Amino acid sequence: MSEILKGKVAIVTGSGQGIGRAVAEDLAAHGAKILVVDPGLSLDGNVENVSLADEVVEGIIKAGGEAKSNKSSVASFESGQEIVQDAIDSFGRLDIVVTVAGILRDRMIFNMTEEEWHDVIDVHLTGTFSIVRHAAPIFRAQKSGRIITFSSGSGLFGNPGQSNYAAAKAGIAGFTKVVGKDLGKYGVTANTIAPRADTRMTASVPEEYKKKSSTPFKDSRDPRDIAPFVTYLASDYSAPINAQVFEVWGGTINQLTLPRPTVTLFNPLSKGRFKTDDFDVEGRGMLFGFGEKNNISDKPLDGQVAVVTGSGRGIGRGIALELSKLGANIVVNDVGAKLDGSGNDVGPAQSVVEEISELGGKAVASTASVASVAGGKQIIDKALEEFGRLDIVVTPAGILRDRMIFNMTKEEWQDVIDVHLTGTFSVVAPASKIFKEQKSGRIITFSSVSGLIGYSGQSNYGAAKDGIAGFTRVVAKELGKYGITANAISPGANTRMTESIPDSTRAMRAGTFKPAEEDHFLYDPDDVAPVVGWLCTDSASHVNGEVVHAVGNRVSLFNKYEVLRSVRKSGRWSVEELANAIPETLGRDLINPAPPQE
């Protein structure tokens, strides 16, 4: 083995067995000193074998390396801080973090418990944040560092029975894209890997889903096959690779396409604003395709009941009004909080209820918070109590707590995850039980380009919003056979949330094109509503599992994750082979979205 990592120090979480162990051993074999982090838990989170980390350390030392064990859980902000400090205290520096730690709590969405949801989100998503957040100031100060996180095909492509796991793993992908942009100018890179390997986690996946994801080729599924690419990303060889998503197994390394709008429908200003029925003709003809059903009324949602969270203002308000216009009875849910989440005021929700009533519709206000499972159930119960049924849930409720990763607080992270990610689950889970029984329903969640593409300064928001996209992919697959659809909206509009973004952050996102002399774009929050309304109708019954970007007079479909480039060999790669192969294959024309600055 080479000594390309000589003098480097790495933290590897979940490194007592499986992929994490293979990574720790490979990094050590290439010269790195390793903090082996593993509390020795069973797959369901109970203490099983506390000596796992010690055994890995013993093996590394016997092989001539240096290592120390740490048996802390990654699932809290404080434990992440303690783990990073342990690396500094033990080895004097920190250069690499690899976050492999994970558990499973698989369950279909209509049966998933609050504990199953939180346990998986805490270990995978918050566990990744807790380590990266405390490593980030160190990497920023020394102007170097490597962050390798672990996503999963479950989140990127969607595996039934894993909505919690998919939300966490897609959230990690969104988080990593943002962190790469937060830290790239300091010479730090952040990339994520979706591995395929036979481990104790994959052993628990039902055979029917394994068969669906298998290939006709007998590729290796040895966890050790993942390690060389991790070591490559941890080395100086990989310096230009940043904010990318890879899929790795056996001798295959795939660079995946990042989510982008692939087909866009533009409505010229001369035609006015989009209307819901525009999507029956142009929308289906140019964007969504045609299904088997058609809308036969100008009120295609007549008699149906919809819950719309965060509908006291902005985008949510426009959706509530649009669904009412299409005939639905509305539960207008809004806690009436300020943008930072503080306060509680029934005024915004009640104002929209009155507006709907004045227009001849029916609506009721709800001020329950989506940030808890109990609150989500209260909102769904409100619909049943007031209107006797439920047909549609739309979840645009949100807050912002923007901060660069190296300054983000525990509260800023948790508040955003609770409102956006858990807030989506808390409403969709109880609704899914009703929809499954009646064999119909529409679920419209809200993602964002902040996670899908990755916007600097929003690692919490990006994690939540890409997590919602992953969650929606799984829910769509779980519920599709019951006549239910689930799609995600990535909205764009001038709202109080977007108005709070600092000018310095806007400048970082600015493009390089010369601005047009005439502005032909609209950005009104009400313009998101028509496509949401249409997705709730019969005409859209064939649209399921999509991410739709809606901003003003433009509506686009996002691509799904696909292989952009691939490099393959028979057998396991070596790091030196990768150092030769990557630049002229995956690395060709690769652009670092946040290159180092002097």
Chain-centre distance for alpha carbon 99? 16
444: closest CA among 548, 560, 558?
Answer: 548
Look-up of token digits 């390396």: 65
**Distance between CA 412 and CA 9 in Å, rounded?**
29
**Pairing mode, if any, of strands 329-333 and 305-309?**
parallel
Residue 185 annotated as catalytic:
no
Q: How many CB atoms lie within 10 A of CB 293?
A: 12
Q: CB within 8 A of 163, min separation 6: which ones?
A: 109, 112, 425, 471, 474, 475, 478
**Distance between CA 387 and CA 370 in Å, rounded?**
20
**Distance between CA 220 and CA 505 in Å, rounded?**
44
3-class secondary structure per residue, 151-174: CCHHHHHHCCCEHHHHHHHHHHHH
Handedness of CA 15, 16, 17, 22 (dihedral sign): positive
**Distance between CA 396 and CA 445 in Å, rounded?**
7
362: closest CA among 416, 306, 445, 402?
Answer: 306
**Distance between CA 31 and CA 9 in Å, rounded?**
9
**Distance between CA 590 and CA 385 in Å, rounded?**
55
Please tell me which residue in 165, 186, 455, 561 is annotated as part of the active site: 165
The residues with which 331 forms a beta bridge, in sequence order, are 307, 364
Residue 71 annotated as catalytic:
no
**Distance between CA 185 and CA 538 in Å, rounded?**
48
409: closest CA among 139, 153, 129?
Answer: 129
Q: CB within 8 A of 185, min separation 6: which ones?
A: 594, 595, 596, 597
Token couple for 574: 């070596």
Q: CB within 8 A of 437, min separation 6: which ones?
A: none
Please tell me which residue in 8, 68, 169, 382 is annotated as part of the active site: 169
Q: Are 327 and 335 in contact (CB under 8 A)?
A: no
**Distance between CA 316 and CA 414 in Å, rounded?**
22
Q: CA dist 436 to 362, 480, 482, Å?
A: 25, 10, 6
Residues with catalytic roles: 165, 169
